[in-house]
Chain A
Amino acid sequence: MELNKYRVMWLFVFFDLPTETKKDRRNAQQFRKNLLKDGFTMMQYSVYMRHCASSESADAHEKRIKALLPPFGKVSILRITDKQYGNIMNFWGKVIVPKDPSPMQLELF
């Protein structure tokens, strides 16, 4: 579809956040919720991903995450193209499962 031409991106956010104190846990929970609000979905615990229709939109989401960073802990953001994401291999146990389909521009429900 048309969307691909406009350089579709995927953003990945990986994080390890401290959960020692009550405050830490609260920060971690807030960060996770903010990711969900920004349209990320959980791929695994502490690995979140999001489809961005263009690199400009990926820029915007990167910027937003930077503003939401918790005070402590490690957070990494990775941006790859839809083409690169296509090479992902997912295993459930030893069974290979197909990757999540990229959203289409026009969807029918």
Chain B
Amino acid sequence: MIKRTLFFSNKCSLTTKYEQLVIKNDTQIVKTVPIEDIGFIVIENQETYISVPALSKLTSHNVSVIFCDNKHMPQSMLLNLDNHHIQQRHFVNQINATEPLKKQLWQQIVKLKISNQAQILKKLGKNNSPLDYYASKVLSGDSDNREAVSASYYWKNIFDFNFKRERVGVYPNLFLNYGYIVLRAAVARALSGSGLLSTLGIHHHNKYNAFCLADDIMEPYRPLVDAKVMEIMKNYDEQDLITPIKLDLLSILTQTVYFKDKESPLMVALSSTTSSLQQCFSGKTRKIVYPNLWN
């Protein structure tokens, strides 16, 4: 189901009445929105007031509420701990997943990520043959790390200027980071909706990372953000993360992606991916379902 995204950059108060989110500014009610229609809320203004009942209703509808820090970067999100009716069983399956299964899944993910990166380069009219070659050579568990080799080629070639991809780096790293955080929140939301634990990854296992599985699953989707950032760089001269750019990055959530027999918005596609992952863990299938990012 396609859900609405609300972005709060002005001072408001958020309360609830009749299962609706009531949005007030200083003087009057601006709007009421049915909570079940909401998918994502980004709260950026540091003076926003949100009531606890509103938070609890939002959580119970699996709305991902993303809070930003004083530099306007997404910092934390709400995650529902009781989302799926047989969550306990899914958690157990996930914890007991065998090493070979995890390696196979990681192989699928890396392969797809590289070929999606190759597609972008191809669309930009750049040489993508090394990436196609790397994609065909990914081993189980990506044991010889084709992911890193491809990434280094990819980042060297995607922009027309000298670029270094960094967590905290110069333009356009900031745009990329913002897009990835939004994507990651969306994946974490879909995972918890499918009754999976986003902390327990299949490849990522940094002990300081609470979203390892989300980081695993989002890999093949990352090029969608990259493509959007390229588009933004073409449309804006601005090098700072201004609000229209943030909105553009948020619109990734509804971008159309293409399955074999149907097309759907990204946020719906993510649920298909995570539910197929859940079936992998419970032994019904061994393949994660990913859409084509472009047709």
| A→B interface (CB under 8 Å) | 1-3, 5-6, 33, 36-39, 41, 50-51, 53-54, 56-57, 103-109
A89 CB to nearest B CB, Å: 24
CA distance A24 to B228 in the complex (A): 56
A82 CB to nearest B CB, Å: 13
Are the CB atoms of B251 and A39 closer together than 8 Å?
A: no
A/B interface sample: 27 pairs, CB < 8 A: A2-B254, A2-B255, A3-B2, A6-B2, A6-B265, A33-B18, A36-B20, A37-B19, A38-B19, A39-B20, A39-B34, A41-B32, A50-B34, A53-B1, A53-B2, A54-B1, A56-B1, A103-B33, A105-B2, A105-B4, A105-B5, A105-B254, A106-B5, A107-B7, A108-B9, A108-B247, A109-B9
Contact with A along B28-41 (1 / 0, CB 8 A): 00111110110000
With beta carbons under 8 angstroms apart, the residue of B2, B12, B32, B255 that contacts A109 is B12
Q: Which residues of A contact B32 (CB under 8 A)?
A: 41
Q: Which residues of B contact A53 (CB under 8 A)?
A: 1-4, 37
CA distance A97 to B19 in the complex (A): 28
Are the CB atoms of A106 and B250 closer together than 8 Å?
A: yes
CA distance A93 to B30 in the complex (A): 25
With beta carbons under 8 angstroms apart, the residue of A51, A54, A108 that contacts B2 is A54
